[in-house]
Amino acid sequence: MNSTDSPSSTDGPDSTDSPFRQEPTPRDEAPQFVLPLVVRIERNAPPSRTDALETAARAVVVMLSDERSSGDGEWAARVRDWQDARIRKVVRRARGAEWRKASELPGITVTGDGAEVRVFPPVPLDGWPRELSKLQVSGTELEDPEEPPGDVAPGHALIWLNPELRMSTGKEMAQVGHGAQLLWWDMDEAERTVWRDAGFPLAVRTAAADRWTELATSGLPTVRDAGFTEIAPGSVTVVADHPVRD
C-alpha cells in the first residue's frame, strides 16, 4: 500500500496542538478528509523517483498557497476541514485516459523535470470522486537512473528522508509532502513570499546514516508516522529544512 498515514510532528510548529501529532486529540473526532495526489506514470516513460518526490512535495505547498485555498476561496472550507482533522495524503497513479480524466477534475498540475503530479482539494475520507477512487494506490515504485547530486542550490528547501526506513515511492511522496507542509507552516510571511515567488524550489535527499540522529533531534520540522501502513508507528520519516541561502 502506498497510501499515507496520519503523521505527527513533535518538533514542528505549534507542536502541542498539531494535527500531525500521533497521540489522540479532538482532531480525531472531527470529520476526516484527505488530500489526493495523482502521479502520472506512463508505462514507457515513468518519471525518476527523486523527480516525483520533489514534484509531489511542491504540489502540496502550491495547493496550500493557492488563493482558492484560503479566505473565501472555493476550496478554503475543505482545506480548513482537512487541517482541523488529521492531515492525511494519499498518492495514486494514473496513465493515458486515466490521467486525462483526472486532469479534468478541479485541481493543480505541478511539473518537475519529467514528473507530473496533480493535487486536488481535500475530499472526505469516504467520499472520493469516482475518477480518482478507481485509480491504483499500488504500483508507484520508481527508480533513479543515477544518484541525485549532493549539492543543493541556494534558495532550495531541503527535505531529508530517513535512511533507516524502506518505504514505497508512493508513501515517500506523501511523507515529503507532509514535510513540505510543516515547513510552510514554520515560515513567516516574508519567508513564504520569497519561497513562493521563486516557485517553491526544493530538493529531496536521503540523509547520511551518521547524520540522521542529529537531524531528527535538531528542532527542525519533523514528521512522525502514525503506522497505519508499511512502517512502525512513531517512526520519524522526514525532516524538513528551510531554503539554503547564499
pLDDT tens for each residue of 154-208: 899 999 999 999 899 999 999 999 999 999 999 999 999 999 999 999 999 999 9
Q: State the average pLDDT for the chain.
A: 86
Q: Compute CA distances 224 → 97, 158, 197, whole Å.
A: 36, 17, 29
pLDDT of residue 29: 61
pLDDT tens for each residue of 196-221: 999 999 999 999 999 999 999 999 99
SS (H, E, C) 207-226: CCHHHHHHHHCCCCCEEECC
Task: Name the CATH superfamily, with its identifier, for domain 15-137+153-241.
Answer: Bit1 (3.40.1490.10)
pLDDT of residue 28: 64
DSSP string across the chain? --BPP--B-SSSTTGGG-TT-SS--GGGGSPPEEEEEEEE-BTTBPPPHHHHHHHHHHHHHHHHHSGGGSTT-TTHHHHHHHHHS--EEEEEEE-HHHHHHHHTSS-EEEE-SS-EEEE---EETT---HHHHTSBSS------SSPPPS---TT-EEEEEPTT----HHHHHHHHHHHHHHHHHHS-HHHHHHHHHTT--EEEEEPPGGGHHHHHTSSS-EEE---SSSS-TT-EEEEEEPPPP-
What strand order describes the sheet that includes 202-206? 202-206, 157-161, 236-241, 222-224
pLDDT of residue 23: 57
Written as nine digits, the cell of 100 is: 486525462
pTM passes above 0.85: yes
pLDDT of residue 227: 61
Separation between Cα atoms, residue 1 and residue 213, nearest integer Å:
27
Q: Where does the pLDDT of residue 111 fall: very low under 50, low under 70, confident under 90, or very high at 90 and above?
A: very high
List beta partners, residue 117. 39, 110
pLDDT tens for each residue of 63-107: 999 999 999 999 999 999 999 878 899 999 999 999 999 999 999
